[in-house]
A and B are shown apart, each in its own frame.
Chain A
Amino acid sequence: MTNDLLVQYLAAFLFIMGTLVVILRRDTIMVLMGIELLLNAANLSLVGFSNSSHMIEGQMQVFFVITIAAAESAIGLSILVNLYRNFGSIKTEMATTLKG
């Protein structure tokens, strides 16, 4: 059991947690947070791997991923606002007019 493995374990756990949040929580804001968590987990694992094998690719990517995450959350939140405007709520089960 080493730090690297621990970090990877943590990353994996966070990743699963994030997935569960995205799938299980029913209000969009939580779901967005879940996605952030997912990205963060991925970052963690990237950094862990790259660090453990004395590389810097991982860290470099993390910068971009973080930026992307920022952009994504911005768009996500604006979509959420839009959803709120149209449905008066951000519950996902509200927005099920398209089905079948």
Chain B
Amino acid sequence: MAETMNSSLPLLILLSPLIGFFINGVIMPLVYRGFAKTPANTAGGIATFFIGLSFVMALIVFVTLKGDSSHDPSLVINCFEWFNFGGLNIPFELRIDKLSGLLVMIITGIGTLIHLYSISYMHEEECVGRYFSYLNLFCFNMLLLVMGNNLALLFFGWEGVGLCSYLLIGFWYSDTEKANAGKKAFIVNRIGDLGFLIGMFLLFRELGTLSLTGISELLHNPEVVARITPSATLICLSLFVGATGKSAQLPLYVWLPDAMSGPTPVSALIHAATMVTAGVYMIARLNPLFELSPVALSVVAHVGAITALFAGTIAIAQTDIKKVLAYSTVSQLGFMFLACGVGAYQTAVFHLMTHAFFKALLFLGSGSVIHACSGEQDMTKMGNLKKYLPHTHLTMLIGSLAISGIPFFSGFFSKDEILYSAIALPNGISYLFIIGVLTAALTALYTGRMMALTFYGTERLSHDVKHHLHESPALMTFPLYVLAFLAAAGGFLGVPHLLGDYLGHMPHFLSHWLDPVVPTKHMPLMAVKLPLHEAVVMIGSSVIAIVSYFAGVKLFSKVMFITDLIPGIAPLQKLLSNKYYVDELYDKIVVTPVRKIAEFSSGIVDKYVFDGAVNGVGRGVKWVSSGLRVIQTGDIQTYGIMMMLGILLTIFFIFKVFI
């Protein structure tokens, strides 16, 4: 099915950000004699140009890709041979099919917007050149991740984006906190990556190839399927460990909230729109493999659902606007995994897309807010910004409505579909559905709270903040509006049947379009009394969403915490605002032991055991030596006696033989 077109466009899509990276990272410093010297506009302009360029090219490719649900016109181009020895053959192959094409669009598109946004957001920072080169490098790696036609290449991008997020989170490295956050992100990701590696190794052992095309072809072959089914669970689980690392699921989500210490556009691009969804992409991509292991799938589903709820609860008690968004990201990702887990891969991808739209929007909006409040992130010090930041308010409102799943905004369709598939699908489980609904409610609630604390209610701004307060420039609001439009309208790519029929719109457009790559599971309930069920779910969820959203807005325009309403749950509040003490827990059970072991092994083992043995031998020799030299008394009689004993020895040796 994958006919190879000899078009180098995908390669150019991939390379153009890399070129941008080189220009900003190498050439500009040479031109301007120094790293901090590149003007913000120049650097930003270059970076934006190149990512925009690849967006355009992606658009062209994407257009050529459109086709009906029947077949998948995927481009596979082989650039050069990366590894080839000892039976391990990894060509540097790029693949653009509908799935990766969609993600490429998202990445480049949102990427471009965020680059634009960054130009004015970062303009008074120093070393903007560094910033933009990192951004470009990130785009390169992300594109490689989604375009690589080989798990090893995917891993290449996988680690590459990890590196970039490390660099970008630690962009303001002179602050130890921020630097640590970057380190934490990298290391936690590494833990996941080990799982990914092991998964790859297992897969290679079973299939002897890592090429995606190869895998999917092999998995069409029944006896291969039969052979690897037993080990499928192990493979999928270890790959999923990688996913939990990259996509911030339990138990490895801890890095994402800290990652918020990076510049806000970075959070928008990396930690909301693109990188964190890599795990979802990977699972969707390997769905034939995951299909082989119900166990793994249910694990994915459960982890997703639990994470969603867990993060949602935390989000509701946060006061830092970006932290709220971060936790909401975690929980939304949980939703996606829930979808994957129940086998609704398309729905997951759908939600991935819509989430990319509205979460990027929200982040950028919050960035604009922070920008306006001259770096203030604490919502308790905001309030009633509506009248100062009209554009920001408007766009963010749309975003919040979208995320809360208010009907006919994008989030509504995708989330609703996920919930629906959570019960409708064969391996859907009802209590996961319940969790999903709860989470949806929570989402609406904390989003409303966020909006309320930020834009409505009483004004709590400190004086000088208020003094500098200003709406962001057009360069920042423009992307907001674009994203707002997408967030509002994006959902119509996946209208459910129920409405789809009425709206005269081709229902589940996206899903059908993705079919060839990510096949639909037929929904058993769909046949009989389908409308009823769907209607129930839809109406129920939308009601819940609306109610809790407005509840959130209303309540929290007056107070800041639930405790102010229900004082009884103060401990709970404390627990939540401390994020269940997970960081402290990890510090106890992981970080401290590692440090202890390290000190032990170098301080005790190396010094006293290994080195001790070596020096001990030396000391022993010296000791023996000083003992032996005693017999050299210098008195001739001693020597004579020694000779005499020698003779005795000789005679003894002689007689040992003869007598």
Chain B residues with Cβ under 8 A from A88's Cβ? none
- Asked whether B634 is an interface residue with its Cβ less than 8 Å from the other chain, the reply is yes
Measured CB to CB, the nearest residue on chain A to B643 is A23
Contacts of B629 in A (CB 8 A): 100
Complex-state Cα separation, A100 to B631, whole angstroms: 8
Is there a chain B Cβ closer than 8 Å to A19's Cβ? yes
B635:A19 contact, CB within 8 angstroms: no
Interface residues of B in 622-656 (CB under 8 A from A): 629, 632-637, 640-641, 643-644
Q: Mark A1-35, 1 if CB is under 8 A from B, else 0.
A: 00000000000000000010011101000000000
Distance between A97 CB and nearest chain B CB, rounded to angstroms: 7
A96 on the interface (CB 8 Å rule)?
yes
Q: How far is the CA of A26 from the CA of B643 in the complex (A)?
A: 17
Chain B 99-123 interface 0/1 with A at a Cβ cutoff of 8 Å (1 = within): 0000000000000000000000000
Q: A24 to B643, alpha carbons, bound, how many Å?
A: 13
Check: A67 CB closer than 8 A to any chain B CB: no
Contact of B644 among A23, A92, A100 (CB under 8 A): A23
Query: What's the minimum C-beta distance from B654 to chain A, rounded to whole angstroms?
Result: 16
Cα–Cα, bound, A26→B633 (Å): 15
A96 & B640 in contact (Cβ 8 Å cutoff) = no
Interface of chain B residues 391 through 449 with chain A (CB within 8 A): none
| Count of B interface residues, CB-CB < 8 Å | 11
Q: Are A99 and B637 in contact (CB under 8 A)?
A: no
**Distance A66 CA – B640 CA, assembled complex (angstroms):** 24
> Which of A19, A92, A100 contacts B636, CB < 8 Å?
A92
Contact of A24 among B632, B635, B637 (CB under 8 A): B637
Partner of B641, one of A23, A95, A100: A23
Q: State the majority secondary structure of interface residues on B.
A: helix
Q: In the complex, are the beta carbons of A96 and B644 less than 8 A apart? A: no
B632 in contact with A96 (CB, 8 Å): no
Give chain B residues whose Cβ lies under 8 Å from the Cβ of A95: 636
A23 — which chain B residues lie within 8 A by C-beta? 637, 640-641, 643-644
Are B633 and A99 in contact, CB atoms less than 8 angstroms apart?
yes
CA distance A95 to B636 in the complex (A): 9
B637: A residues at CB distance < 8 A: 23-24, 26, 92-93
CB pair A98 B634 closer than 8 Å:
yes
Q: How far is the CA of A26 from the CA of B640 in the complex (A)?
A: 12
Mark out the residues of chain A between 18 and 65 whose CB falls within 8 Å of any chain B CB in the assembled complex: 19, 22-24, 26
Bound CA–CA A50/B636 (angstroms)? 35
Chain A contact residues: helix, strand, loop or mixed: loop
A24-B637, A92-B637 are contacts. A99–B632 as well, Cβ < 8 Å?
yes
The answer on a CB contact under 8 Å between A100 and B635 is: no
Q: Which of B634, B640, B641, B644 contacts A99 (CB 8 A)?
A: B634
B634-A100 in contact (CB<8A): yes
- The complex places the Cα of A92 from the Cα of B635 at a distance, in Å, of 7
User: What CA separation (Å) do A100 and B630 show in the bound complex?
Assistant: 6
| Nearest CB of A to B399, in Å | 91
- Which B-chain residue is minimally distant from A19 (CB atoms)? B644
Closest chain-B Cβ to A75's Cβ sits at a distance in Å of: 17
Q: CA A92 – CA B637 in complex, angstroms?
A: 8
Q: B640, A22: Cβ atoms under 8 Å?
A: yes
CA distance A92 to B629 in the complex (A): 20
Q: How far is the CB of B569 from chain A (nearest CB, A)?
A: 86
CB < 8 Å neighbour of B634 from A19, A26, A96? A96
**For residue B643, which residues in chain A have a CB less than 8 angstroms away from its CB?**
23
Question: Which chain B residue lies CB-closest to A26?
Answer: B637
Contacts of B632 on A, CB cut-off 8 Å? 99-100
B288-343 contacts to A (CB < 8 Å): none
Which residues of chain B are within 8 angstroms of A100 by Cβ–Cβ distance?
Answer: 629, 632, 634
A99 to B330, CA, bound (A): 82
Q: Give the complex CA separation of A96 and B637 in angstroms.
A: 11
A96 to B633 alpha-carbon distance, docked (Å): 8
Chain B residues lying within 8 Å of A98, measured Cβ to Cβ, are: 634
Interface centre among B629, B640, B643, B644 (most CB of A within 10 A): B640
Q: Complex: how many Å from CA A27 to CA B369?
A: 110
Q: Which residues in A have their C-beta under 8 angstroms from that of B644?
A: 19, 23
Query: Which residues in chain B, 589-636, are within 8 Å of chain A measured between CB atoms?
Result: 629, 632-636
Contacts of A93 in B (CB 8 A): 635, 637
Distance of A93 Cα from B644 Cα, bound (Å)? 19
The residue in chain A whose Cβ has the minimal distance to the Cβ of B644 is A23
State the CA gap A68–B179 with chains docked (Å).
93
CA distance A22 to B635 in the complex (A): 13
B378 CB → nearest A CB, Å: 81
Q: CB distance B641 to A96 under 8 Å?
A: no
> Distance in Å from the Cβ of B650 to the closest Cβ of chain A?
14
Minimal Cβ-Cβ distance residue in B for A99? B634
Residue of B nearest to A28 (CB): B636
Most chain B CB neighbours (cut-off 10 Å) among A22, A23, A95, A96: A23
Q: Output the nearest chain B residue to A20 by Cβ-Cβ distance.
A: B644
- Closest-by-CB residue of B relative to A25 is B637
Chain B residues within 8 Å of A19, by CB = 644
The answer for the CA separation of A97 and B632 in the assembled complex, in Å, is 11
Nearest CB to that of A23 among chain B residues? B640
Chain B residues contacting A99 (CB-CB under 8 Å) are 632-635
Instruction: Please measure, in the bound complex, the distance between the C-alpha atom of A99 and the C-alpha atom of B634, giving whole angstroms.
Output: 4
Write the nearest CB–CB distance from A42 to chain B, whole angstroms.
15
Give CA–CA (A40, B644) in the complex, Å.
Answer: 19
Say how far A98's CB is from chain B's closest CB, in angstroms.
5
Once the chains are docked, how many angstroms separate the CA of A7 from the CA of B369? 125
How far is it, in angstroms, between the C-alpha of A97 and the C-alpha of B635 when the chains are bound? 9
Residue numbers in A under 8 Å from B635 (CB-CB): 92-93, 96, 99
Return the chain B residue nearest A92 by Cβ.
B636
The 9 A-B residue pairs with the shortest CB-CB distance, nearest first, are A99-B634, A23-B640, A96-B634, A92-B636, A96-B635, A98-B634, A100-B629, A99-B633, A100-B632
- B-side residues, CB < 8 A to A, are 629, 632-637, 640-641, 643-644
Residues of chain A at the chain B interface (Cβ within 8 Å): 19, 22-24, 26, 92-93, 95-100
Can you give 11 A-B contacts (C-beta < 8 A)?
A19-B644, A23-B637, A23-B644, A92-B636, A92-B637, A95-B636, A96-B633, A98-B634, A99-B632, A99-B635, A100-B632
Known: A92-B635, A92-B636. 13 other contacts (CB 8 A): A23-B637, A23-B640, A23-B641, A23-B644, A92-B637, A93-B635, A95-B636, A96-B633, A96-B634, A96-B635, A99-B634, A100-B632, A100-B634
